[in-house]
Amino acid sequence: MRYGVIGTGGVARTIADRLVGLGQEVTLGSRSRDNGTAVAWAAGAGENGRHGTFADAAAFGEVVLNATPGTVAVEALRAAGAERLAGKLLVDLSNPLVFSPEGELTLDPVNTDSVGERIQREFPEALVVKTLNTLTAALMVDPSRLPGEHNLFVAGNDPDAKARTVELLGTFGWPAGWVIDLGDITGARAMEMTMPFWLRLMGAFGTAEFNYAFKRAQ
Amino acid sequence: MRYGVIGTGGVARTIADRLVGLGQEVTLGSRSRDNGTAVAWAAGAGENGRHGTFADAAAFGEVVLNATPGTVAVEALRAAGAERLAGKLLVDLSNPLVFSPEGELTLDPVNTDSVGERIQREFPEALVVKTLNTLTAALMVDPSRLPGEHNLFVAGNDPDAKARTVELLGTFGWPAGWVIDLGDITGARAMEMTMPFWLRLMGAFGTAEFNYAFKRAQ
């Protein structure tokens, strides 16, 4: 299968590495075709790893993953091109983190909107699924780094697109039963709004390698 | 010990019942002295349960717990009176849930402020600790309803006030090791912003009786 990964940061490269390691073909997309990080990544990724523009990555992928920061995601996907996203599963991993002038971490959008919803509105023919924005990159692609069952979340309007996302997560090591369906794409709001909580927890735990697990009444 | 519980809703009465059950003295405070719910609660609570105004409850309590909705918490505590809160542990359990005209659940304040912070700013001489706003009332006072370890959170500016809160939670059944310290009162922002996530999870699980348990790298 061919994947387009939009973005060249740590999350993008972690996902791209994992996909290549699973034998998938990946184009890592950046704003410019000669982005040094993307060129270096492709050079090290072997024959299944390519680099290109956002548009190249979107055109290449049968599935497209957005791993840009949430604050620039819509702009990056516009550069990728609506026609190259139409009809495709578009997995959104982003969080719209903004540091306030006081140095506090805030979100934009928040509360009445989310990046996931913005992407779905902007690209109505794409099948947007929000997932993986609730934990650190190393855990996204290797849940066995933590003991026992812990949880991921998906939100999106298209049930089949969510099912395909759960399958993809399965190839990363996530049993389907660990993935909690939070409903339509407005669930992205709930997922993105956990970021301040996650950052406080990281401070309390002294590590980013932690994740949600839920206890429920038996 | 004497506790003033501000509010007469389900959370307020659940907390008040538990405190009375533990042999503590409680005044349940409402806007008006003859609030029917508060009168009925006190009638059923035995000799350690009283009812009164917000001011009566605040005056009575060596510790005061705010269990009003977050949207009216500051106003209720103003009625309670700053002079009756000064120097006291003020435990804030509230969430500022607001339904938008579209029927969506939102928060106000959110992102750059929180109810916990507003209360601390408005009553600088009170020792505000945010806790218990992240789970359903039945679990607040009986964590054994879920199997194994699961987590609570505290945030506040005064370390001693947080330690006293952890002790109080201990009397409800929460081992100190299950309570995660999220730092100063700005951590209330992170805690309140989990509400949309919690509500989506409740929908996914089909029950409000669930709670966070965190897996961490070993």
Chain segment B140-162, per-residue pLDDT in tens: 999 999 999 999 999 999 999 99
Q: Which two tokens stand for residue A217?
A: 């009444």
Residue A73 falls within a domain, yes or no? yes
**Nearest Cα to B176, choosing from B165, B162, B168, B166?**
B166
B138–A contact, CB cutoff 8 A:
no
Convert the pLDDT of each residue in B100-139 to its tens digit.
888 889 999 999 999 999 999 999 999 999 999 999 999 9
Q: Which two tokens stand for residue B209?
A: 């009786």
Chain B CB contacts of A203 under 8 Å are 182-183
**Nearest Cα to A181, choosing from A201, A160, A205?**
A160
Helix or strand (DSSP H, E) at B21 = helix B10-21
CB distance A205–B214 less than 8 Å?
yes
Helix or strand (DSSP H, E) at A186 = none
Domain that holds residue A25: 2-205
- pLDDT at B217 (0 to 100): 85
Q: How confident is the model at residue B41 (pLDDT cuts 50, 70, 90)?
A: very high
Residue A211 falls within a domain, yes or no? no
Let me know: does A61 contact A2? Beta carbons within 8 Å. yes
What does each C-alpha distance from A173 to A90, A140, A149, A156, A170 come to in angstroms? 20, 9, 11, 21, 5
Residue B186 falls within a domain, yes or no? yes
How many structural domains are present in chain B?
1
Extract the runs of DSSP E, i.e. beta strands, from B45-143.
49-53, 63-66, 89-92, 97-99, 105-107, 127-131
Spans of chain A below 50 pLDDT = none
Extract the runs of DSSP E, i.e. beta strands, from chain A.
2-6, 25-30, 49-53, 63-66, 89-92, 97-99, 105-107, 127-131, 152-156, 179-181, 210-216
- pLDDT at A44 (0 to 100): 97
Residue A11 falls within a domain, yes or no? yes
Mean pLDDT of B22-32: 98
Residue A215 falls within a domain, yes or no? no
**CATH code, domain with B142:** 3.40.50.720
In this prediction, does ipTM exceed 0.90? yes
- pLDDT at B19 (0 to 100): 98
Closest-CA residue of A relative to B102 is: A112
CB distance B213–A213 less than 8 Å?
yes
Residues 6+ apart with CB under 8 A from B101: none
What 3-state class would DSSP assign to A12? helix
Residue B218 falls within a domain, yes or no? no
Q: In the Cβ-directed half-sphere of A87, how many Cα atoms lie within 13 Å?
A: 4
Q: CA-CA distance, B164 to B143, in Å (whole number)?
A: 19
The C-alpha of B191 sits at a distance from chain A's nearest C-alpha, in angstroms, of 6
Convert the pLDDT of each residue in A119-158 to its tens digit.
999 999 999 999 999 999 999 999 999 999 999 999 999 9
Task: Point out the residue among A106, A199, A210 whose CB comes nearest to the CB of B216.
Answer: A210
A182–B contact, CB cutoff 8 A:
yes
B180–A contact, CB cutoff 8 A:
yes
Task: Point out the residue among B100, B191, B210 whose CB comes nearest to the CB of A216.
Answer: B210
Residues 6+ apart with CB under 8 A from B163: none
Task: Point out the residue among B112, B196, B210 whose CB comes nearest to the CB of A190.
Answer: B196
Region label for B68, one of left (φ > 0), alpha (ψ between -120 and 50) or beta (otherwise):
beta
B121–A contact, CB cutoff 8 A:
no
pTM of the shown model: 0.97
Residue B211 falls within a domain, yes or no? no
Residue A35 falls within a domain, yes or no? yes
